[in-house]
């Protein structure tokens, strides 16, 4: 599995990056992205620290980036632009999960920007799913408690609109870590028949971004 949404001590995760790599490798994962929570106050801080990892080699491949989180919808574009400028290798946006009070309009505004993944998009509309499809942005099926509550809706909308999905953990603690077998079960539980295709999307996006 290639997990494209994890958090380290540089936001609200419990683990330093090297332990994330060790634990993911130990369960058979092949690659991951650290996407710490960020807004205008810490985008530079997060990325300047994570990019230090490029000086070492972990036992599995990795990307460094940010999850733009709870930024006012009208300012998401500026935050995304700053993240790319500061060296992000992957940029995702914290979508309108039903488990948090995310501002209405976050999904729509995020999907207008140069992002890779809209994380846990909650009760995403068909109109916004169309926008994701047109702009080549992946919608996330989440393994994380709370964010996963709308997985079935996201899966149905994605099937209807034919937009692409990925599955991620949104890992904050060791207990959040999963492998491909568990990911398949979560996808099947969400009503997705082509679980392997979604896992292939994770790898395809990872390879694309890693080789930029």
pLDDT digits (tens), the chain, 212 positions: 999 999 999 999 999 999 999 999 999 999 999 999 999 999 999 999 999 999 988 999 999 999 999 999 999 999 999 999 999 999 999 999 999 999 999 999 999 999 999 999 999 999 999 999 999 999 999 999 999 999 999 999 999 999 999 999 999 999 999 999 999 999 999 999 999 999 999 999 999 999 98
From the DSSP assignment, how many helices (H) and strands (E) are in the chain? 8, 7
Structure tokens at 113: 């920007």
Question: Residue 135 and residue 178: Cα distance in Å, rounded?
Answer: 29
The CATH code of domain 2-210 reads 3.20.20.140
Q: What is the DSSP letter of 171?
A: B
Instruction: Name the residue ranges covered by the structural domains of the chain.
Output: 2-210
* Model confidence pTM above 0.75: yes
Angle at 70 between CA 124 and CA 182, to 5 degrees: 60
């Amino acid at each position: 599995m290639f997990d494209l949404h994890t958090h380290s001590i540089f936001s609200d995760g419990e683990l330093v990056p090297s332990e994330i790599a060790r634990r993911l490798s130990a369960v058979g994962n092949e690659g991951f992205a650290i996407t710490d929570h960020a807004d205008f106050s810490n985008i530079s801080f997060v990325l300047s620290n994570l990019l230090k990892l490029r000086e070492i080699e972990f036992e599995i491949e990795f990307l460094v980036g940010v999850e733009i989180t709870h930024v006012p919808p009208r300012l998401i574009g500026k935050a995304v632009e700053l993240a790319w400028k500061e060296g992000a290798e992957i940029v995702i946006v914290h979508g309108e999960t039903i488990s948090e009070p995310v501002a209405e309009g976050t999904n729509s505004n995020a999907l207008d920007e140069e992002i890779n993944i809209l994380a846990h998009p909650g009760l995403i509309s068909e109109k916004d799913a169309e926008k994701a499809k047109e702009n080549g942005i992946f919608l996330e099926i989440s393994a994380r408690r709370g964010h996963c509550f709308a997985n079935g809706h996201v899966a149905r909308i994605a099937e209807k609109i034919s937009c692409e999905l990925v599955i991620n953990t949104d890992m904050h603690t060791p207990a959040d870590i999963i492998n491909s077998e568990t990911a398949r079960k979560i996808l099947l539980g969400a009503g997705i028949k082509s679980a392997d295709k979604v896992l292939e999307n994770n790898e395809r996006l990872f390879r694309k971004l890693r080789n930029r």
